[in-house]
Amino acid sequence: MRISALLTRGSAPSEIVEAELDTPRPDEVIVRIEAVGVCHTDLVTRKRLRERPAVLGHEGCGIVERVGSAVDGTTVGDRVVISFASCGGCAQCRRGLPGYCAWSAALNGSGRRLDRSPTLRVREEPVFGAFFGQSSFATAALTDARSCVPVGDVPPEVAAPLGCGFLTGAGAVLNVLRPRPGDRVLVIGAGGVGAAAALTALSEDVEVLVAEPVAERRELMARCGATVVASLDEAIPAVTHALDTTGRPESVTRALGLLQPCGVLALVGLGPPDVTVDVRSLMLRGLRIHGCVEGDAEPSALIPELVRRHRRGLLPLERLVTTYPLADFDRAVTDQRAGRVLKPVLLPGT
Ligand SMILES: [Zn+2]
Ligand SMILES: [Zn+2]
Protein backbone atom coordinates (compact mmCIF):
# COMPACT_ATOMS: atom_id res chain seq x y z
CA MET A 1 0.00 0.00 0.00
CA ARG A 2 1.34 3.44 -0.94
CA ILE A 3 1.47 5.93 1.92
CA SER A 4 3.12 9.23 2.81
CA ALA A 5 5.54 9.00 5.70
CA LEU A 6 7.77 11.34 7.68
CA LEU A 7 11.32 10.17 7.16
CA THR A 8 13.92 11.20 9.75
CA ARG A 9 17.66 10.79 9.45
CA GLY A 10 19.74 11.90 12.43
CA SER A 11 19.91 15.66 12.81
CA ALA A 12 19.02 16.33 9.13
CA PRO A 13 15.65 18.02 8.51
CA SER A 14 12.82 15.50 8.30
CA GLU A 15 10.98 15.04 4.98
CA ILE A 16 7.69 13.65 3.77
CA VAL A 17 8.31 10.75 1.37
CA GLU A 18 6.26 8.19 -0.51
CA ALA A 19 6.60 4.78 1.13
CA GLU A 20 5.33 1.26 0.57
CA LEU A 21 3.60 -0.39 3.53
CA ASP A 22 3.66 -4.20 3.65
CA THR A 23 0.46 -6.27 3.31
CA PRO A 24 -1.09 -7.20 6.69
CA ARG A 25 -0.34 -10.69 7.99
CA PRO A 26 -3.31 -12.66 9.43
CA ASP A 27 -2.99 -11.01 12.88
CA GLU A 28 -2.17 -7.49 11.63
CA VAL A 29 -4.23 -4.46 10.66
CA ILE A 30 -3.69 -1.23 8.75
CA VAL A 31 -4.79 1.94 10.51
CA ARG A 32 -5.28 5.24 8.66
CA ILE A 33 -3.55 7.64 11.05
CA GLU A 34 -5.57 10.71 12.05
CA ALA A 35 -3.26 11.90 14.84
CA VAL A 36 0.07 10.84 16.35
CA GLY A 37 1.78 12.24 19.42
CA VAL A 38 5.47 13.14 19.59
CA CYS A 39 7.04 11.37 22.58
CA HIS A 40 10.51 11.71 24.09
CA THR A 41 11.40 8.18 22.92
CA ASP A 42 10.98 9.26 19.27
CA LEU A 43 13.72 11.83 19.76
CA VAL A 44 16.00 9.49 21.73
CA THR A 45 15.62 6.84 19.02
CA ARG A 46 16.29 9.31 16.19
CA LYS A 47 19.56 10.19 17.93
CA ARG A 48 20.44 6.51 18.54
CA LEU A 49 19.89 5.63 14.85
CA ARG A 50 22.25 8.41 13.72
CA GLU A 51 22.13 8.60 9.89
CA ARG A 52 19.87 5.58 9.42
CA PRO A 53 16.61 6.57 7.67
CA ALA A 54 13.61 5.83 9.88
CA VAL A 55 9.88 6.30 10.19
CA LEU A 56 9.22 6.79 13.90
CA GLY A 57 6.00 7.67 15.74
CA HIS A 58 4.49 5.45 18.42
CA GLU A 59 1.35 7.19 19.65
CA GLY A 60 -0.87 6.60 16.63
CA CYS A 61 -4.63 7.01 16.59
CA GLY A 62 -6.84 6.48 13.59
CA ILE A 63 -9.40 4.43 11.72
CA VAL A 64 -8.91 0.73 11.01
CA GLU A 65 -8.81 0.37 7.25
CA ARG A 66 -7.83 -3.26 6.63
CA VAL A 67 -7.74 -6.31 8.89
CA GLY A 68 -5.83 -9.59 8.50
CA SER A 69 -7.71 -12.86 8.03
CA ALA A 70 -7.33 -14.00 11.68
CA VAL A 71 -8.18 -10.69 13.36
CA ASP A 72 -11.00 -10.91 15.84
CA GLY A 73 -12.47 -7.99 17.80
CA THR A 74 -11.00 -5.19 15.67
CA THR A 75 -13.27 -4.07 12.83
CA VAL A 76 -12.79 -1.89 9.77
CA GLY A 77 -14.07 1.59 10.65
CA ASP A 78 -13.15 1.44 14.36
CA ARG A 79 -11.21 4.38 15.78
CA VAL A 80 -8.31 2.90 17.73
CA VAL A 81 -5.27 4.00 19.67
CA ILE A 82 -2.17 1.97 18.84
CA SER A 83 -0.20 1.23 21.98
CA PHE A 84 3.23 -0.41 22.31
CA ALA A 85 3.81 -3.93 20.99
CA SER A 86 3.96 -7.05 23.15
CA CYS A 87 3.80 -10.77 22.41
CA GLY A 88 0.79 -11.69 24.54
CA GLY A 89 2.22 -15.09 25.39
CA CYS A 90 5.25 -14.66 27.67
CA ALA A 91 5.01 -14.81 31.47
CA GLN A 92 4.89 -11.00 31.89
CA CYS A 93 2.24 -10.53 29.19
CA ARG A 94 0.12 -13.27 30.79
CA ARG A 95 0.40 -11.46 34.14
CA GLY A 96 -1.01 -8.30 32.55
CA LEU A 97 2.34 -6.48 32.48
CA PRO A 98 3.09 -6.26 28.73
CA GLY A 99 5.53 -3.36 29.28
CA TYR A 100 7.96 -6.03 30.48
CA CYS A 101 7.29 -8.45 27.59
CA ALA A 102 10.21 -10.81 26.98
CA TRP A 103 10.25 -9.68 23.34
CA SER A 104 9.75 -5.99 24.01
CA ALA A 105 13.09 -4.74 22.65
CA ALA A 106 12.77 -6.65 19.36
CA LEU A 107 9.08 -5.82 18.91
CA ASN A 108 9.38 -2.12 19.70
CA GLY A 109 12.87 -1.04 18.76
CA SER A 110 14.45 -3.31 16.13
CA GLY A 111 12.91 -1.51 13.13
CA ARG A 112 11.37 -4.73 11.79
CA ARG A 113 8.92 -7.46 12.72
CA LEU A 114 10.02 -10.15 15.17
CA ASP A 115 10.93 -12.43 12.24
CA ARG A 116 13.18 -9.60 10.94
CA SER A 117 10.98 -8.88 7.90
CA PRO A 118 10.69 -5.17 7.04
CA THR A 119 7.28 -3.47 7.06
CA LEU A 120 8.21 -0.24 5.25
CA ARG A 121 10.15 0.52 2.09
CA VAL A 122 11.18 3.86 0.63
CA ARG A 123 12.36 3.82 -3.00
CA GLU A 124 12.35 -0.03 -2.85
CA GLU A 125 14.78 -0.03 0.12
CA PRO A 126 13.70 -1.20 3.59
CA VAL A 127 13.87 1.60 6.19
CA PHE A 128 13.69 1.42 9.99
CA GLY A 129 9.97 0.85 10.59
CA ALA A 130 7.64 -1.11 12.87
CA PHE A 131 8.66 1.34 15.60
CA PHE A 132 6.75 0.31 18.74
CA GLY A 133 5.04 -2.06 16.35
CA GLN A 134 3.59 0.83 14.30
CA SER A 135 5.76 3.69 12.87
CA SER A 136 2.82 6.04 12.83
CA PHE A 137 4.45 9.28 11.61
CA ALA A 138 2.64 8.46 8.36
CA THR A 139 -0.75 8.52 6.72
CA ALA A 140 -1.19 4.82 7.59
CA ALA A 141 0.49 2.29 9.87
CA LEU A 142 0.73 -1.49 9.91
CA THR A 143 0.34 -2.96 13.37
CA ASP A 144 -0.57 -6.05 15.35
CA ALA A 145 -4.31 -6.09 16.11
CA ARG A 146 -3.35 -6.87 19.72
CA SER A 147 -1.92 -3.33 20.11
CA CYS A 148 -5.15 -1.60 19.01
CA VAL A 149 -7.57 -0.29 21.63
CA PRO A 150 -10.93 1.16 20.46
CA VAL A 151 -11.58 4.73 21.71
CA GLY A 152 -14.88 5.63 20.03
CA ASP A 153 -15.62 9.32 19.53
CA VAL A 154 -12.75 10.83 21.55
CA PRO A 155 -11.02 13.44 19.35
CA PRO A 156 -8.02 11.65 17.79
CA GLU A 157 -5.53 14.34 18.85
CA VAL A 158 -6.55 13.80 22.48
CA ALA A 159 -6.64 10.00 22.22
CA ALA A 160 -3.30 9.51 20.43
CA PRO A 161 -0.99 10.13 23.44
CA LEU A 162 -2.98 7.53 25.40
CA GLY A 163 -0.86 5.03 23.46
CA CYS A 164 2.32 5.90 25.38
CA GLY A 165 2.96 9.22 27.14
CA PHE A 166 -0.43 9.76 28.80
CA LEU A 167 -0.66 6.01 29.50
CA THR A 168 2.71 6.12 31.27
CA GLY A 169 1.78 9.05 33.51
CA ALA A 170 -1.72 7.86 34.30
CA GLY A 171 -0.58 4.26 34.85
CA ALA A 172 2.20 5.34 37.20
CA VAL A 173 -0.45 6.99 39.37
CA LEU A 174 -3.23 4.39 39.17
CA ASN A 175 -1.17 1.19 39.02
CA VAL A 176 1.99 2.03 40.94
CA LEU A 177 1.51 4.94 43.36
CA ARG A 178 -2.19 4.27 44.03
CA PRO A 179 -2.79 7.37 46.18
CA ARG A 180 -6.04 7.74 48.12
CA PRO A 181 -8.11 10.88 48.70
CA GLY A 182 -6.31 13.07 51.19
CA ASP A 183 -2.85 11.95 50.10
CA ARG A 184 -0.36 14.39 48.62
CA VAL A 185 1.47 13.48 45.39
CA LEU A 186 4.56 15.27 44.10
CA VAL A 187 5.06 15.15 40.33
CA ILE A 188 8.52 16.21 39.15
CA GLY A 189 8.42 17.56 35.59
CA ALA A 190 5.23 18.58 33.76
CA GLY A 191 5.95 17.30 30.25
CA GLY A 192 3.43 14.98 28.58
CA VAL A 193 3.98 12.17 31.09
CA GLY A 194 4.11 14.31 34.24
CA ALA A 195 1.14 16.49 33.27
CA ALA A 196 -1.00 13.41 32.52
CA ALA A 197 0.04 11.96 35.88
CA ALA A 198 -0.93 15.18 37.67
CA LEU A 199 -4.37 15.30 35.98
CA THR A 200 -4.95 11.63 36.79
CA ALA A 201 -4.07 12.15 40.47
CA LEU A 202 -6.40 15.19 40.57
CA SER A 203 -9.17 13.00 39.12
CA GLU A 204 -8.65 10.72 42.15
CA ASP A 205 -9.31 13.64 44.53
CA VAL A 206 -5.70 13.74 45.61
CA GLU A 207 -3.69 16.86 46.43
CA VAL A 208 -1.10 17.37 43.71
CA LEU A 209 2.13 19.32 43.84
CA VAL A 210 4.00 19.86 40.57
CA ALA A 211 7.65 20.92 40.28
CA GLU A 212 8.35 22.36 36.82
CA PRO A 213 10.84 25.02 35.68
CA VAL A 214 8.85 26.26 32.64
CA ALA A 215 6.43 29.04 33.69
CA GLU A 216 3.76 28.29 31.02
CA ARG A 217 3.56 24.67 32.11
CA ARG A 218 3.33 25.70 35.75
CA GLU A 219 0.47 28.08 34.95
CA LEU A 220 -1.39 25.34 33.07
CA MET A 221 -0.96 22.89 35.94
CA ALA A 222 -2.14 25.53 38.43
CA ARG A 223 -5.25 26.20 36.32
CA CYS A 224 -5.96 22.45 36.40
CA GLY A 225 -5.90 22.47 40.21
CA ALA A 226 -2.33 21.58 41.15
CA THR A 227 -0.07 23.49 43.55
CA VAL A 228 3.09 24.41 41.66
CA VAL A 229 6.74 25.20 42.39
CA ALA A 230 9.49 26.13 39.96
CA SER A 231 12.17 24.07 41.65
CA LEU A 232 12.63 21.34 44.23
CA ASP A 233 14.84 23.78 46.15
CA GLU A 234 11.74 25.70 47.24
CA ALA A 235 10.01 24.93 50.56
CA ILE A 236 7.88 21.84 49.86
CA PRO A 237 5.70 20.03 52.41
CA ALA A 238 6.16 16.30 53.00
CA VAL A 239 4.33 14.07 50.50
CA THR A 240 2.91 10.54 50.60
CA HIS A 241 3.85 9.75 46.99
CA ALA A 242 6.27 11.08 44.37
CA LEU A 243 6.74 10.55 40.66
CA ASP A 244 9.99 11.48 38.92
CA THR A 245 9.73 12.01 35.16
CA THR A 246 13.13 13.67 34.77
CA GLY A 247 15.64 10.91 35.57
CA ARG A 248 17.86 13.49 37.25
CA PRO A 249 19.78 12.03 40.23
CA GLU A 250 19.23 15.15 42.33
CA SER A 251 15.45 14.92 41.75
CA VAL A 252 15.42 11.32 42.94
CA THR A 253 17.42 12.21 46.08
CA ARG A 254 15.23 15.22 46.86
CA ALA A 255 12.00 13.27 46.30
CA LEU A 256 13.12 10.56 48.73
CA GLY A 257 13.88 13.27 51.28
CA LEU A 258 10.36 14.71 50.91
CA LEU A 259 8.51 11.41 51.39
CA GLN A 260 6.62 10.73 54.58
CA PRO A 261 7.31 7.40 56.31
CA CYS A 262 6.10 4.45 54.18
CA GLY A 263 5.96 6.73 51.13
CA VAL A 264 6.63 5.55 47.60
CA LEU A 265 8.62 7.06 44.75
CA ALA A 266 7.90 5.90 41.18
CA LEU A 267 10.49 6.39 38.45
CA VAL A 268 9.52 6.84 34.80
CA GLY A 269 12.37 9.05 33.53
CA LEU A 270 15.57 7.58 32.14
CA GLY A 271 18.65 9.43 33.31
CA PRO A 272 22.18 8.51 34.36
CA PRO A 273 22.34 4.99 35.83
CA ASP A 274 24.00 5.90 39.12
CA VAL A 275 22.20 7.64 41.95
CA THR A 276 23.38 7.63 45.56
CA VAL A 277 20.59 6.38 47.81
CA ASP A 278 20.78 6.20 51.61
CA VAL A 279 19.46 2.66 52.06
CA ARG A 280 19.43 2.99 55.86
CA SER A 281 16.99 5.85 55.49
CA LEU A 282 14.90 3.74 53.07
CA MET A 283 14.77 0.91 55.57
CA LEU A 284 14.17 2.96 58.71
CA ARG A 285 11.45 5.10 57.07
CA GLY A 286 9.79 2.21 55.23
CA LEU A 287 10.17 3.87 51.84
CA ARG A 288 9.81 2.17 48.48
CA ILE A 289 11.31 3.05 45.08
CA HIS A 290 9.37 1.57 42.19
CA GLY A 291 10.59 1.68 38.59
CA CYS A 292 7.91 1.37 35.95
CA VAL A 293 7.63 1.05 32.17
CA GLU A 294 4.50 2.27 30.35
CA GLY A 295 2.85 2.87 33.73
CA ASP A 296 2.72 -0.90 34.44
CA ALA A 297 -0.37 -0.71 32.27
CA GLU A 298 -2.32 -3.26 30.29
CA PRO A 299 -3.39 -0.81 27.53
CA SER A 300 -6.61 -2.69 26.75
CA ALA A 301 -7.73 -2.09 30.35
CA LEU A 302 -6.31 1.33 31.23
CA ILE A 303 -7.00 3.23 27.98
CA PRO A 304 -10.79 2.61 28.15
CA GLU A 305 -10.76 3.75 31.81
CA LEU A 306 -8.94 6.99 30.86
CA VAL A 307 -11.39 7.53 27.99
CA ARG A 308 -14.29 7.17 30.46
CA ARG A 309 -12.72 9.75 32.79
CA HIS A 310 -12.13 12.13 29.86
CA ARG A 311 -15.76 11.79 28.73
CA ARG A 312 -16.97 12.61 32.26
CA GLY A 313 -14.84 15.77 32.28
CA LEU A 314 -12.52 14.44 35.01
CA LEU A 315 -9.41 14.24 32.83
CA PRO A 316 -9.04 17.36 30.64
CA LEU A 317 -6.22 15.92 28.53
CA GLU A 318 -7.14 18.22 25.64
CA ARG A 319 -5.55 21.08 27.60
CA LEU A 320 -2.12 19.44 27.20
CA VAL A 321 -2.21 19.02 23.42
CA THR A 322 -1.06 21.29 20.54
CA THR A 323 -1.57 20.06 16.97
CA TYR A 324 0.66 20.39 13.88
CA PRO A 325 0.57 19.07 10.32
CA LEU A 326 2.75 15.95 9.93
CA ALA A 327 5.25 17.90 7.80
CA ASP A 328 5.86 20.31 10.72
CA PHE A 329 7.52 17.67 12.92
CA ASP A 330 10.77 19.65 13.22
CA ARG A 331 8.89 22.79 14.29
CA ALA A 332 6.89 20.75 16.82
CA VAL A 333 10.09 19.38 18.35
CA THR A 334 11.63 22.88 18.53
CA ASP A 335 8.49 24.27 20.19
CA GLN A 336 8.41 21.44 22.72
CA ARG A 337 12.09 21.83 23.59
CA ALA A 338 11.58 25.56 24.08
CA GLY A 339 8.69 24.84 26.46
CA ARG A 340 6.20 26.60 24.15
CA VAL A 341 4.03 23.49 23.90
CA LEU A 342 3.56 20.58 26.25
CA LYS A 343 2.42 17.69 24.05
CA PRO A 344 2.74 18.13 20.26
CA VAL A 345 0.44 15.94 18.22
CA LEU A 346 0.85 15.61 14.45
CA LEU A 347 -2.14 15.36 12.10
CA PRO A 348 -1.13 13.38 8.97
CA GLY A 349 -4.43 14.19 7.23
CA THR A 350 -3.77 17.95 7.11
ZN1 LIG B 1 5.22 -10.94 26.00
ZN1 LIG C 1 6.55 7.07 24.24
- Summarize pLDDT for 320-342 with one digit per residue, the tens: 999 999 999 999 999 999 999 99
How many whole angstroms from its chain centre is CA 177? 18
CATH of domain 2-163+316-347: 3.90.180.10
Domain borders along the chain are 2-163+316-347, 170-293
Query: Which one of the ligands is nearest to 38 CA?
Result: 2
How far apart, in Å, are the Cα atoms of 40 and each of 255, 305, 343?
22, 24, 10
In the chain, DSSP finds a helix count (H) and a strand count (E) of: 11, 17
pLDDT at position 93: 98
- Summarize pLDDT for 93-133 with one digit per residue, the tens: 999 999 999 999 999 999 999 999 999 999 999 999 999 99
- Looking at every residue in the chain, the average pLDDT score rounds to 97
- Summarize pLDDT for 228-269 with one digit per residue, the tens: 999 999 999 999 999 999 999 999 999 999 999 999 999 999
Q: Which CATH number fits domain 170-293: 3.40.1410.10, 3.40.50.720, 3.40.50.1370, 3.20.20.150?
A: 3.40.50.720
Q: Look at the chain and count its residues.
A: 350
Under a CB-based contact definition with an 8 Å cutoff, are residues 256 and 275 in contact? Answer: no
What is the chain's Cα-based Rg?
20
Region 163-185: what's the mean pLDDT?
A: 97
CB burial class (10 A; 0-12, 13-18, 19+) of residue 262? exposed
- In the reported structure, the alpha carbon of residue 107 is separated from the centroid of ligand 1 by a whole-number distance in angstroms of 10
Q: Is the pLDDT of residue 350 over 90?
A: no
- In the reported structure, the alpha carbon of residue 38 is separated from the centroid of ligand 1 by a whole-number distance in angstroms of 25
pLDDT at position 349: 86
pLDDT at position 98: 98
Region 22-34: what's the mean pLDDT?
A: 98
- In the reported structure, the alpha carbon of residue 97 is separated from the centroid of ligand 2 by a whole-number distance in angstroms of 16
Q: Is the pLDDT of residue 76 over 90?
A: yes
Percentage with pLDDT > 90 across the chain: 98
Region 5-20: what's the mean pLDDT?
A: 96
pLDDT at position 250: 96
- In the reported structure, the alpha carbon of residue 20 is separated from the centroid of ligand 1 by a whole-number distance in angstroms of 28
- In the reported structure, the alpha carbon of residue 66 is separated from the centroid of ligand 1 by a whole-number distance in angstroms of 25
Q: Is the pLDDT of residue 45 over 90?
A: yes
Region 147-173: what's the mean pLDDT?
A: 98
- In the reported structure, the alpha carbon of residue 210 is separated from the centroid of ligand 2 by a whole-number distance in angstroms of 21
- In the reported structure, the alpha carbon of residue 110 is separated from the centroid of ligand 2 by a whole-number distance in angstroms of 15
Query: Which one of the ligands is nearest to 94 CA?
Result: 1
- In the reported structure, the alpha carbon of residue 82 is separated from the centroid of ligand 1 by a whole-number distance in angstroms of 17
Region 49-57: what's the mean pLDDT?
A: 96
The full 3-state SS of 274-294, as one line of letters, equals: CCCCCHHHHHHHCCEEEECCH
Query: Which one of the ligands is nearest to 109 CA?
Result: 2
